[in-house]
Structure formats: structure tokens, C-alpha cells
Structure 1
Amino acid sequence: MNNTINGTSINSVRAKTLGDYLKSRRARLQPEQAGLPRSYGQRRTPGLRREEVAILAGVSATYYTWLEQGREVAVSRDVIESISRALQLGGDEHVHLLELWNANEPEAVTAITTEVKPQWREIVNQMAFPCFISNDRAELLAWNRAVNERIADFSSRPREQRNMMSMLFTDPQMRSRLINWEEMAAHSVAIFRTSYDKYAHDPWFAQFVAELSKESAEFAALWKLHRVEIKKVTRVFYSLPDENQVLAYDINSLAFTAEHPDLHLCIYTPASD
């Protein structure tokens, strides 16, 4: 028996999420980019037509249309790979598509971790560099003094406001300190999009995105791009006005235990070059 969320099966949610993602990738690809004859007629929607993607992927137009519509149809790994090539997906985009397809994963609702063990907090506190533990919602669950001093003062904020994504777009202090804000904002939204699709069954994500989109036009614009990226080592530059200097860090994000796959240990190590 399928697990359900508000009466909707997990498989149904996954199928719709997959369909939305395929549609977003199709919309950004022009016929000439895909090696098709340039269209001089008026197109009702941007990007390739569904029929064109189907031809490029070697599947029927009806079958591909059903996928985009979020119907629960059987999809093989070969078909997913063919569609990925047709849509010219990049490395991270391809991985994300496979995760959305996820044919072999058992149906289950992944719970978000909201508390961390005391010993994990102690590990974070012992770090000399900025270090924190966050979950897939971008909520900070543990952080050290260096985070308060170099990134933003999370200790002075109530628990419900300790969200890295929200603060990145709404907190003037964090934004003023982060020199390469535009780069990090785009990267962070792309990472968060992967979590959003992964937890499509969790209403928290849709509510969070809707609220932040109202608060920040910049976030809303980046969100509409539907870009996805996987966490990787990223360099950030922070300005400390009181000390009149710029600090460069490489953000290393480490996966947590198998019991808590939604947690990430982020360590800001001084850049070596």
C-alpha cells in the first residue's frame, strides 16, 4: 500500500515533481541548440516542443507528454538517460533527474532532523574556523562562535529565524559581509532546489518558498530558473569592516551519518591560494 501525504500517494508526488523538472529543462532549450531546424513561426511557449524532445529521445510524443504531465507511468533507466541527453542536461542536472526518477528507492517519507546530539555540538564548538550543522531545510542546528563573528550572529536570533537561505536574502548584515553575494545566492538557491524536489511531499518547502518569494524579488527570480546544483567546495569572501580586511574561505560540506542523511557539517577553511 502506498504511503500518502494528505491523501496523495508518494509516487504521484514524485511523478509530478519529475514532470515539472522536465518541463523547466525543455523550456530553456532552443531548437537550433538541439540541432533541429530553426523555427520561424510563432511558438506559444519558450524552448522545445514536447514532440521535439520525444523525437530527440527516441520515445513517442504521447509517452513524453504523460511524463511531463506527471502521470504515473513506468520509466526505464535507458529512457531517462535518453531524455537527459535530449535535454542536454549538465552533470548536476543529470544526477538530479536520476534522483527524481528513483525507480529503486522504497516509498518512504524522509523526516527532517531538527535536533542534534550534544556531542555533535561539542565537535562544532571545538572548531577554530566557522563551522555549523544544518539540515536540508537550510536551518542551522548547531554553530560555533566563529560563525557569529564572521558570517552572521545566529545566537541573537530566535530559532525560527535561523535559516541560512532566508537570511542570505533578507539579512542586511549577512549580505554586507559576503562580497561575492550574487554568486553565492545563485549557488545556494540551486542547491536548495534539489532539496525542494527531494521533499516534494513536505508542505514546509512550498510554504517557505512562497513566503521568501514575497520577501525577496531576487530570490523569486532565481527560483524561477529552476537551476539545480549539488553541494561542492565553494569559495566565499567575507569583509570584516571592524578589522578592515577580507577573509577567503572554502566551504567544505560533509555528509552526516546514515541515520541522518539530511544533515550537513559545513566547515569554512581559510583559502590556501
Structure 2
Amino acid sequence: MTVDPRTELSDFLRSRRARLSPDDVGLPQYGRTRRVPGLRREELAQLAGVSVAYYTRLEQGNGHNVSAEVLDSIARALRLNDAEREHLNNLTRSKPHKKKKEQRSPLRPALRHLLDGIAVPAYIGGRRCDILAWNPMAAALFGDWGELAPRDRNWARMIFLRPECQNLFVNWETKAADVVAFLRLDAGCCSDDPELAALIGELSLRSELFRQLWAAHEVKEKSFGTKLVRHPLVGEMTLSYETLRMPSEPSLFLTTYHAEPGTQSAEALQLLASWGKDASRAGASARTQA
């Protein structure tokens, strides 16, 4: 499966236009009956201050040489959030070039030392939702990723293809939607990545839910929030997560999970920490038997 920037741009703009109604943007509803939901092209063009022909060309995937001012006007008219604006910019700037096999550089030792010194679950991730390194607390919480093949240390493959990982998140569908939104943002800036294309193709073949979520064209940046995690040994925990980009290596990010002090979730994390590697082994056994 390939990721075509022209098709991505066309489908993304159509999907964003379809979610708006005239009432949303203060336009009167008159004229012919609407056959499909959302704004018409001419209405969106009017809101953005561009000609219908110009916007039509853009929605057909002809995004090269579009000025930043025009993109900003269209983004405002479509009411795009920050992640969606970034995605739109990526899609219009994307240019096909000769594909090269990606050379992964080993993580700097200092980053691994940093992970080991963090007292809460933490891991370093990269593009395509890959998991590159983690600390013992992350293994105790999520399972020992070291037992997986490197290609399978990937949130998308785990969420959609591993039932034991699906059981880990109480609101699994939300986690699944987030992962797809992260992948979609990656696809916008790295459309020529053969590994990303292969991942999307594999998940599209093996998961009906992935196909549905991918067709929605939602995009999201990794940031912060709260997850309800169901651990097989200590039960449910409400954990907050924070994602920090590496300034010197923007494709890498550090994610940590922590619980509010004094809560039952904090006590559960401390219990996992005291068990160390035994928690990872026992948790893996419990997930297999579930």
C-alpha cells in the first residue's frame, strides 16, 4: 500500500468540509436540497476568500505552490486545530523523491541512562509509533517489549493485532483512534516511507476497525492526557501521560506515565515497582491465561 500525497490532500479536505454545516459557520441554508452532509465547495471557497476553481483544484490534490496565506485562510474556514493545520501544510509541501532505506541510528547512551533514572514508566518512541527503548517500570506496566521482535515493538501492531494489549486499556477504542491519528500525521510528512506504507497496508488487511478509523482522516499530535489502564496484577489505574519531543532529534519523543500522589493508582504503581522484573513476568503470564 502506498501513501499518495495528492490523494491524502484530496480526501483530507473533503472529510474536513463534510463535518461542517452552514449553521456551524453562520451561512443561511437555501437553494437546492443537500444530498450529502457538510459545506459545498463554493461555500467553503467563499468563507476562505478564494475562487471556487482555485479551491476545487486544491481539493483535487493540486497542492503545490499554494501560499501560506491561502492555506491559513482555508484552515480557518475549515476550523482546523493545530494538528490538522500541520497535516494540511505537510500534505501541500510533500514532494515525491527517490526512496532510500531508512538508516536507524542507535540511541545515544545518555538517553538510555535517562530512562533508567526515571522512577515512573517511561519509554522512547519514534515515527510510525515504534517503541525504541523503555525502562523497567514500563515493562512492569505494559509487558516486556524485549520479548517481541523489533518490528512488533509498535503501538499500532500491538493495539490492533494483540488481544492482550487490547485488554490493557479500559477505553481501548480511544487508544486505537489515537494511534491511527498519530500514524495519519506521520503519513502526511513522510509519505515516501516504505515501512509506514507497509504498516498501514498490513493493518488495513487485518483489522476492520483500523480501516474504519483510517478512512476518517483524523490527525493528532502526541501530547498529554489520561489513560485508564487495567493491569492483570494490580487492577485498574488512572494514569496521566506526558510526551516530550527530543530537541536534537525531533523524530524521537519521551513518554512518561504517572499517578496522582496519594491515590490508589499511585500505590499500585509503587507495588509494581517493588516487584520489578517479577511484575513483568507475572503480568505476561496472567495476560496469556486471560
Q: TM-score range by the shorter chain?
A: 0.7 to 0.9
User: Matched residues in 2 for 1:212 and 1:112: separation?
Assistant: 24
Matched residues, number: 257
Q: Which residue is 2:29 aligned to?
A: 37
Aligned AA (2:260): A
Normalising by structure 2, we get a TM-score of 0.77
Q: Does 1:116 align with 2:107?
A: yes
Q: CA deviation at 1:96?
A: 3.2
Aligned AA (1:178): F
Q: Which residue is 1:87 aligned to?
A: 78
Which range moves more in the overlay, 53-62 or 91-100?
Answer: 91-100
Q: Does 1:236 align with 2:227?
A: yes
Q: Which residue is 1:9 aligned to?
A: none
In structure 2, runs of 5+ residues without a counterpart are: 264-290
User: Matched residues in 2 for 1:114 and 1:169: separation?
Assistant: 27
User: Matched residues in 1 for 2:150 and 2:196: separation?
Assistant: 17
Q: In the TM superposition, what whole-angstrom CA distance separates every residue of 1:194-245 from its partner, at most 9, and x where no partner exists?
A: 11111112232222112112222112211111111222211112222323x3
Aligned sequence identity (%)? 34
User: Matched residues in 2 for 1:38 and 1:210: separation?
Assistant: 42
Give 3-state SS (helix, strand or coil) of 1:21's partner. Answer: helix
Give 3-state SS (helix, strand or coil) of 2:65's partner. Answer: coil
Q: CA deviation at 1:101?
A: 4.4
Q: In the TM superposition, what whole-angstrom CA distance separates every residue of 1:46-87 from its partner, at most 9, and x where no partner exists?
A: 533322221221111111111122225432222112211221
Confirm or deny: 8 A CA contact 2:129 2:182 kept in the other structure. no
User: Matched residues in 1 for 2:238 and 2:198: separation?
Assistant: 34
Task: Choose which of 51, 55, 58 in structure 1 pairs with 2:49.
Answer: 58
User: Matched residues in 2 for 1:97 and 1:236: separation?
Assistant: 28
Task: Choose which of 56, 66, 69 in structure 2 pairs with 1:78.
Answer: 69
Normalising by structure 1, we get a TM-score of 0.82
User: Matched residues in 2 for 1:256 and 1:149: separation?
Assistant: 24
Tell me which protein shows more helix as a share of its residues.
Answer: 2
In structure 1, runs of 5+ residues without a counterpart are: 1-5, 7-12
Q: Does 1:191 align with 2:201?
A: no
User: Matched residues in 2 for 1:91 and 1:72: separation?
Assistant: 19
Aligned AA (1:80): L
Confirm or deny: 8 A CA contact 1:139 1:163 kept in the other structure. yes
Q: 1:47 to 1:207 in 2, by over 3 A?
A: farther
With CA pairs under 8 Å and 6+ residues apart, which has the higher RCO, 1 or 2?
2
Confirm or deny: 8 A CA contact 1:16 1:71 kept in the other structure. no
User: Matched residues in 2 for 1:241 and 1:23: separation?
Assistant: 43
Q: Cα RMSD (Å) of the superposition?
A: 2.9
Give 3-state SS (helix, strand or coil) of 1:29's partner. Answer: coil
Aligned AA (2:29): P
Q: CA deviation at 1:102?
A: 5.3
Report matched runs for 1:1-273 at 5 Å: 17-34=8-25, 35-38=27-30, 40-41=32-33, 43=35, 46-101=37-92, 113=104, 115-243=106-234, 245-258=235-248, 260-272=249-261
